[in-house]
Amino acid sequence: MTQLERTVCRLALDQGFALVGFAPIRRLDQREEFFRQWIDEGRPAEMAWLARDPERRFDPRRLDPRLRSVISLAFPYTAPAAPAMDWRAELRGRIAAYALGPDYHDTVLAKARVVAEALVTTRTDVVTRVYVDTGPVFEREWAVEARIGWFGRNTNLLNRYHGSYFFLAEIFTDLEFAPSAEPYRDHCGTCRSCLDLCPTHALADGYLLEPRLCISYLTIEHRGPIPCELRPRLGNWIFGCDICQEVCPWNGDAARIAPVNADLAPALADLMALDDDGFRRRYGTSAIRRTKRRGLLRNAAVALGNSGNPAAVPILARTIEAEPEAIVRGHAAWALGQLGGALARRTLERSRGHETDPGVKSEIESALSTLSA
């Protein structure tokens, strides 16, 4: 390891990064056929930015022809357990662990830029471009090139000692770095826990993820109505999903030692009462802001419908009668249909008489037919 590499590694560790790797830049030809087919099959769905100018993903030199190497960094986040509880009885949602605290895009990017500044000591005109899930970059592929982990069957990057609970950052530079180690061997073996235990069967053999079935996609990136057939499978996940990480044996130690955090399981009634200002105050500096208020409340309505708890009915009744967002009212109607009972029926029948949005009216009729079945 060169003196510069040692300096970069030391500074990265000081900034909290757990893994550092180096690799020369080349065109990632081995991913081209897979990615183009993935795009052609419509898998990006509403994530249209993934299909834009794929050549920039295959070769970072399309971003800047001066680039020669990449430094791949992994910043760990804790995977605190949700409070031990009966979520159906307590009417609580579930949030993915990575979304706790300030938005990782900002915090990890700032730390990666501190590391990048160390390269400037080599010469004043050194070129650096830093990314943290913020540009057209194959983050996992470059992490594999830098030998800090392997592709798991859950399509996350895995490391034997750190599992998959970490964010990836990349520093592209015009400095020359050689690979920092031998290629990281696949350690998934015959384990299929992530495939078999995914509630929506979003994972398939061949290290393939179908975003349109993924709970994380459905609760964050998807903006429209959640397909009715998938709603019961979301359980109480209201932002993201950690199941394919929680069941992974390589994350076992992280899951055991992590502290309990109540913020992972917010009260659904509190969320349904949030107005725009309340949402911004609570989630305006976190990754959760991406789903917007209407998306979070849409998801919370689905979780209430999945609870089977009659105590959810008054919450949903208030929502369908007073909520300004049609998509939230529509999912509240579905949820009332799932829960049933006299109040649910009366609320739906009353709402049918004054609802003007066609989509919500359709949800109401469908819910009433469910109650009549």
Give the catalytic positions in this structure.
133
Rounded Cα–Cα distance for residues 201 and 275 (Å): 34
Rounded Cα–Cα distance for residues 175 and 324 (Å): 54
Which helix (H) or strand (E) element contains residue 166? strand 166-173
List, as one string, the DSSP characters of 221-286. Answer: I--SPPPTTTGGGGTTEEE---HHHHT-GGGHHHHHHPPB-GGGS-BHHHHHT--HHHHHHHHTTS
The answer to whether 219 and 234 have CB atoms below 8 angstroms apart is yes
Give the list of residues 6+ apart from residue 361 with CB closer than 8 angstroms, or none.
352, 355
Question: What percent of the residues of the chain are helix, what percent strand, and what percent coil, each to the nearest 5?
Answer: 50, 10, 35
